[in-house]
Amino acid sequence: QKEVEQDPGPLSVPEGAIVSLNCTYSNSAFQYFMWYRQYSRKGPELLMYTYSSGNKEDGRFTAQVDKSSKYISLFIRDSQPSDSATYLCAMSAEKSSGDKLTFGTGTRLAVRP
């Protein structure tokens, strides 16, 4: 079993829809949670960074972390065709472990005009 599980999709939604992306994890040592966006043949780009449980909002993006359930989510409001990409969740443990990131497989999202 992988430490981080993420549905690979693809997920196809119409423009303007609310998108929900999720990851589950098994390692209770994870404290830092991130969402990256990756366009085809490009490097990952950081979208959201959260520490421990709670919500964080940035523009059209909201990240949620529920450590009791080992479950994290990313919501995208008013989705746009330019949001079409692969979304990767990533997480790391305490800083003593070097902050190496453990990624999910990524969810491919397509937003239809």
Partner 1 sequence: DTGVSQDPRHKITKRGQNVTFRCDPISEHNRLYWYRQTLGQGPEFLTYFQNEAQLEKSRLLSDRFSAERPKGSFSTLEIQRTEQGDSAMYLCASSLPIALTDTQYFGPGTRLTVL
Interacting residues toward partner 1 by CB under 8 A: 4, 6, 8, 32, 36, 41-46, 49, 51, 88, 90, 92, 95, 98-106
Is 11 or 101 the residue whose CB approaches partner 1 more closely? 101
CB of 51 to partner 1, least distance (A): 5
Is 51 or 71 the residue whose CB approaches partner 1 more closely? 51
Parallel/antiparallel/unpaired status of strands 54-58 and 71-76: unpaired
CB of 64 to partner 1, least distance (A): 18
Radius of gyration of the chain (CA): 14
Dihedral sign (CA 52, 28, 32, 80) = negative
Q: Do 74 and 48 contact (CB within 8 A), yes or no?
A: yes
CB of 113 to partner 1, least distance (A): 26
Is 45 or 58 the residue whose CB approaches partner 1 more closely? 45
Question: What gap in Å lies between CA 40 and CA 6, rounded to an integer?
Answer: 18
